[in-house]
């Protein structure tokens, strides 16, 4: 099954070669055709249970899909959230909510790939968010600011985290936040402004200004005040999945560097015959395989329902760093051609860098390991 | 209409082949096996025919060991309805394979039998015509495109310098080559659905073979290339070498 899945994803991706992604990147447009085909083939619904129209597969298969997309030279970040944002709904939503949304998410008619948590004044410090949802009868009225909210313009639904009890009134700062499903198709004008952020990579991300946006009570997921716990519940899966994208990026770079170093002849022999070129490629590859092994360990623990926070975080850090090392190695191996757009290396170089800071900065990973794994003092 | 597609599990064309101990077969260790690419055309042709007619079933079958189940699942993932594994020790003898298939096909009696023009490993192009002969059915080989209508099948073949059109009465046997049938790839939905489709395992009697493989030899190692010079100055030397050493001019 795993080999068959890997081959099938590779085959689909082979129809979207570098010039496709290059064109999408240059015009800063959305890879509509690729995402449509991926959706139609069912890949983005792999984690949704079969009763709701998905494939009911586990995180192992989801990792293979995302890894292969990035290894092919594609950019899974354009659509990966359609795969896992629904996790909050699946784990904590009511039967009614699941029946209302999951079948549409599974067949792609409902795009749930926006996740509004981060705020300008509350980045990694999530409990400091100030977006507030006031309960008024059978609805909530929400105002506040969100930033770096990706794919809002390519979503029908958005998961939103807002305070429902002011920070100063809660016993623990992790309490008093709630999670909502926002139906973006129903938002009246002037209630939500979406301001796109121009970025170094082709990634649709936005600033959101919510001004008395009304959300029906039935769109709240789970209990009021428990939202932070629900959000954390999906973090490990996200770390593991995004580590897989970095593994894919890393292998893209070593695949390409190896190939180029084997073909490019200078001073009468392929440059890959020189230790100065070959060894960095080999070393980058070792790093990627090491990160992948940690990712696999995280997957095993996740699948068995065991605590996997340490492994998921370590996998994310190792994979992001390994991919970035490989990106630099590929740039060196390609020399000037690495900077030429048609080779694809410079585009993937920009894209691979993101994972050093997103969805969580590697420093936050280290603080987690230091404090919660090693038992050292809190470092921030 | 019932369509039967006979397929084969072959080493991936990108696999590096090593000859096994004894020198009569390949070393299967580390070899990745796939559905033979010509058989993919045949499966695709069957699926399109079924879709075009709006009715019928596509059954895939293969003669081989337990591992061939994987190959049948690939065809099921593309969209075939059911699979039959004819379990037995396959050999390089095309006639043995054709006899095994013929016994099964006589029982199932599908009006249309499709095969790839050849297996990507052995390249013998035997089984299709032999099978047709054993069944006493008309056979068109290396068909690029065909259409079924009114109990007949019209086949287009690419021949040297042109196209040949054949009309065969059903039931018939057709071997398919690269042409109109660019195979669809398996989607995740297809892979998941394939797990639930019926795959019947049938042990078969394997008839005696009168053919043995005596030896397999790898192609000779290529000698290292030589750079005779660079730029226009090298032309004279290259021409001299092509004339005097390679004797091709």
Tokens 């369509």 locate to B3
- Put simply, the answer to whether A41 touches B227 (Cβ < 8 Å) is no
Among B70, B189, B195, beta carbon nearest to A41: B189
Among B73, B74, B192, beta carbon nearest to A55: B192
- Put simply, the answer to whether A8 touches B227 (Cβ < 8 Å) is no
* DSSP helix, strand, coil percent of chain B (3-state; round to 5): 30, 30, 45
pLDDT in tens, A310-348: 999 999 999 999 999 999 999 999 999 999 999 999 999
H helix intervals, chain A: 2-14, 18-26, 32-40, 59-71, 80-84, 86-92, 95-107, 227-233, 235-263, 275-303, 309-334, 345-353, 362-368
Q: Tell me what pLDDT residue B30 has.
A: 85
Q: Tell me what pLDDT residue B22 has.
A: 85
> Checking phi first, is residue B29 left (phi over 0); if not, alpha (psi -120 to 50) or beta?
beta
Question: Closest Cα partner for B133 from B169, B160, B172, B168?
Answer: B172
Q: Tell me what pLDDT residue A379 has.
A: 94
Tell me: pLDDT of B171 over 90.
yes
Q: Tell me what pLDDT residue B97 has.
A: 96
Contacts by residues A290-297 (CB-CB < 8 Å, ≥ 24 positions apart): A290/A318, A290/A322, A291/A243, A291/A246, A291/A247, A291/A250, A291/A315, A291/A318, A291/A319, A291/A321, A291/A322, A292/A247, A292/A319, A294/A243, A294/A318, A294/A319, A295/A63, A295/A240, A295/A243, A295/A244, A295/A247, A295/A319
Q: How far is CA B45 from CA A271, B32, B123, B168, in A?
A: 46, 25, 20, 16
Give Cβ neighbours of residue B115 (< 8 Å, ≥ 6 apart).
B5, B6, B7, B39, B42, B127, B128, B131, B173, B174, B175, B176
Higher-pLDDT residue of B166 and B212 is B166
Q: Tell me what pLDDT residue B29 has.
A: 86
Tell me: pLDDT of A180 over 90.
yes
Q: How far is CA B245 from CA A170, B204, B220, in A?
A: 91, 57, 20
Give Cβ neighbours of residue B215 (< 8 Å, ≥ 6 apart).
B23, B24
Residue B167, strand partner residues: B154
Q: How far is B124 from chain A (nearest CA, A)?
A: 27
Contacts of A11 in chain B (CB under 8 A): 185-186
Q: d(Cα B181, Cα B3) in Å, to the nearest integer?
A: 16
b/e per residue A338-353 (b: at least 16 CB within 10 A): beeeebbbbbbbbbbb
Residue A213, strand partner residues: A142
Q: Parallel, antiparallel, or unpaired for β B162-169 and B152-159?
A: antiparallel
pLDDT in tens, A41-92: 999 999 999 999 999 999 999 999 999 999 999 999 999 999 999 999 999 9
Q: d(Cα A153, Cα A136) in Å, to the nearest integer?
A: 28
Report the Cα–Cα distance between both ends of chain B, in Å, rounded.
Answer: 58
Q: Tell me what pLDDT residue B118 has.
A: 95
Tell me: pLDDT of A151 over 90.
yes
pLDDT in tens, B87-120: 999 888 999 999 999 999 999 999 999 999 999 9
> Checking phi first, is residue A39 left (phi over 0); if not, alpha (psi -120 to 50) or beta?
alpha
User: What's the mean pLDDT in A348-370?
Assistant: 95
- Put simply, the answer to whether B77 touches A40 (Cβ < 8 Å) is no
Assess A1–B contact: CB distance below 8 Å, yes or no. Answer: yes
Q: d(Cα A73, Cα A208) in Å, to the nearest integer?
A: 30
Chain A segment 27-56 residues within 8 A of B by beta carbon are 40-43, 45-46, 55
Give the count of alpha carbons within 13 A of A52, CB side only: 25
**Domain boundaries in chain B?**
2-203
Q: Return the residue of B nearest to A6 by Cα.
A: B188
Q: Tell me what pLDDT residue A69 has.
A: 98
Tell me: pLDDT of B49 over 90.
yes
Q: Tell me what pLDDT residue A235 has.
A: 92
Q: Tell me what pLDDT residue A71 has.
A: 98
**If one looks up domain B2-203 in CATH, what number appears?**
3.40.50.620
> Checking phi first, is residue B73 left (phi over 0); if not, alpha (psi -120 to 50) or beta?
alpha
Chain B segment 42-101 residues within 8 A of A by beta carbon are 70, 73-74, 77
Contacts of A42 in chain B (CB under 8 A): 187-189, 192
Share of chain A above pLDDT 70, in %: 100
Instruction: Say if the ipTM goes beyond 0.85.
Output: no
pLDDT class for A6, splitting at 50, 70, 90? very high
- The CB density around residue A311, as the number of other CB atoms within 10 Å, is 24
pLDDT in tens, A124-135: 889 999 999 999
pLDDT class for B246, splitting at 50, 70, 90? confident
Q: d(Cα B133, Cα B110) in Å, to the nearest integer?
A: 16
- Give SS3 for A221: strand
Q: How far is CA B216 from CA B18, B29, B125, in A?
A: 10, 17, 19
Q: Return the residue of B nearest to A46 by Cα.
A: B188
Tokens 């660019």 locate to B182
Q: d(Cα A130, Cα A161) in Å, to the nearest integer?
A: 10
pLDDT in tens, A241-290: 999 999 999 999 999 999 999 999 999 999 999 999 999 999 999 999 99
- The CB density around residue A61, as the number of other CB atoms within 10 Å, is 21
H helix intervals, A120-191: none
Q: For all residues of chain A together, what is the average pLDDT?
A: 96
Chain B segment 110-169 residues within 8 A of A by beta carbon are none
Assess A268–B contact: CB distance below 8 Å, yes or no. Answer: yes
* DSSP helix, strand, coil percent of chain A (3-state; round to 5): 60, 15, 25
Higher-pLDDT residue of B230 and B75 is B75
pLDDT class for B220, splitting at 50, 70, 90? confident
Q: Phi first, then psi: give them for residue A265, nearest 5 degrees.
A: -105, 120
Higher-pLDDT residue of A204 and A123 is A204
Residue B201, strand partner residues: B85
> Checking phi first, is residue B16 left (phi over 0); if not, alpha (psi -120 to 50) or beta?
beta
Assess B215–A contact: CB distance below 8 Å, yes or no. Answer: no
Q: d(Cα B2, Cα B132) in Å, to the nearest integer?
A: 17
Assess B192–A contact: CB distance below 8 Å, yes or no. Answer: yes
User: What's the mean pLDDT in A148-161?
Assistant: 96
H helix intervals, chain B: 37-53, 68-78, 94-108, 127-135, 188-196, 234-244
- CB B111, CB B148: distance < 8 Å: no
- DSSP line for B97-137: HHHHHHHHHHHH--SEEEEESS-TTT----HHHHHHHHHT-
Give Cβ neighbours of residue A306 (< 8 Å, ≥ 6 apart).
none
Q: Return the residue of A nearest to B186 by Cα.
A: A8
Burial classification of residue A130, based on how many CB atoms lie within 10 Å of its CB (0-12 exposed, 13-18 middle, 19 or more buried): middle
Q: Phi first, then psi: give them for residue A325, nearest 5 degrees.
A: -60, -45
């Amino acid at each position: 099954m795993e080999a068959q899945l890997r081959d099938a994803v590779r085959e689909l991706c082979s129809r979207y070669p570098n010039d496709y992604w290059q064109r999408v990147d240059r015009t800063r447009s959305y890879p509509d055709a690729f995402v449509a085909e991926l959706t139609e083939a069912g890949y983005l619904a792999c984690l949704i249970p079969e009763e709701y129209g998905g494939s009911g597969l586990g995180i192992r298969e989801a990792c293979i899909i995302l890894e292969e997309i990035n290894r092919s030279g594609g950019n899974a970040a354009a659509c990966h959230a359609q795969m896992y944002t629904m996790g909050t709904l699946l784990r904590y939503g009511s039967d009614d909510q699941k029946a209302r949304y999951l079948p549409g998410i599974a067949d792609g008619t409902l795009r749930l790939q926006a996740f509004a948590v981060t705020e300008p004044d509350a980045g990694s410090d999530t409990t400091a968010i100030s977006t507030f949802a006031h309960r008024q009868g059978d609805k909530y009225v929400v105002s506040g600011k969100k930033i770096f909210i990706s794919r809002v313009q390519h979503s029908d639904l958005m998961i939103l985290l807002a305070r429902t009890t002011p920070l100063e009134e809660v016993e623990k700062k992790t309490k008093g936040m709630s999670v909502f499903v926002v139906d973006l198709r129903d938002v009246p004008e002037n209630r939500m402004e979406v301001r796109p952020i121009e970025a170094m990579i082709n990634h649709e991300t936005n600033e959101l200004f919510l001004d008395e946006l009304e959300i029906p009570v039935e769109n709240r997921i789970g209990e009021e005040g428990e939202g932070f716990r629900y959000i954390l519940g999906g973090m490990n899966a996200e770390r593991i999945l995004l580590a897989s994208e970095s593994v894919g990026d890393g292998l893209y770079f070593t695949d390409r560097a190896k190939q180029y170093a084997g073909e490019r002849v200078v001073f009468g022999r392929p440059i890959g015959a020189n230790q100065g070129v070959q060894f960095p490629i080999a070393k980058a590859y070792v790093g990627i395989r090491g990160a992948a092994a940690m990712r696999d360990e995280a997957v095993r623990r996740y699948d068995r329902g065991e605590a996997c926070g340490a492994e998921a975080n370590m996998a994310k850090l190792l994979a992001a760093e390994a991919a970035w090392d490989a990106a630099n190695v590929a740039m060196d191996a390609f020399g000037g051609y690495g900077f030429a757009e048609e080779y694809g290396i410079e585009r993937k170089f920009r894209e691979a860098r993101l994972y050093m800071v997103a969805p969580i900065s590697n420093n936050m990973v280290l603080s987690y390991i230091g404090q919660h794994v090693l038992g050292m003092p809190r470092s921030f | 209409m019932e369509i039967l597609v006979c397929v084969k599990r072959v080493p991936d064309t990108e696999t590096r082949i090593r000859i096994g101990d004894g020198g009569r077969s390949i070393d299967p260790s580390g070899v990745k096996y796939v559905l033979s690419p010509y058989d993919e055309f045949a499966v695709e042709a069957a699926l399109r025919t079924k879709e075009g007619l709006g009715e019928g079933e596509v059954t895939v079958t293969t003669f081989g060991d337990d591992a061939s189940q994987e190959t049948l699942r690939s065809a099921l993932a593309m969209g075939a309805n059911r699979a039959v594994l004819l379990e037995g020790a396959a050999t390089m003898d095309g006639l043995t394979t054709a006899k095994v298939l013929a016994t099964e096909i006589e029982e199932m009696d599908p009006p249309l039998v499709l095969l790839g023009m050849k297996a990507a490993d052995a390249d013998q192009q035997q089984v299709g015509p032999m099978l047709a002969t054993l069944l006493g059915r008309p056979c068109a080989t290396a068909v690029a495109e065909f259409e079924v209508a009114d109990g007949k099948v019209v086949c287009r073949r690419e021949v040297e310098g042109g196209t040949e059109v054949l009309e065969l009465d059903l039931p018939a046997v057709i071997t398919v080559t690269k042409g109109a049938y660019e195979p669809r790839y398996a989607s995740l939905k297809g892979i998941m659905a394939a797990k639930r489709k019926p795959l019947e395992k049938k042990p078969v009697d394997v008839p005696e073979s009168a053919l043995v493989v005596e030896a397999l030899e790898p192609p000779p190692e290529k000698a290292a290339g030589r750079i005779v010079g660079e730029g226009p100055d090298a032309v004279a030397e290259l021409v001299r070498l092509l004339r005097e050493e390679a004797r091709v001019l």
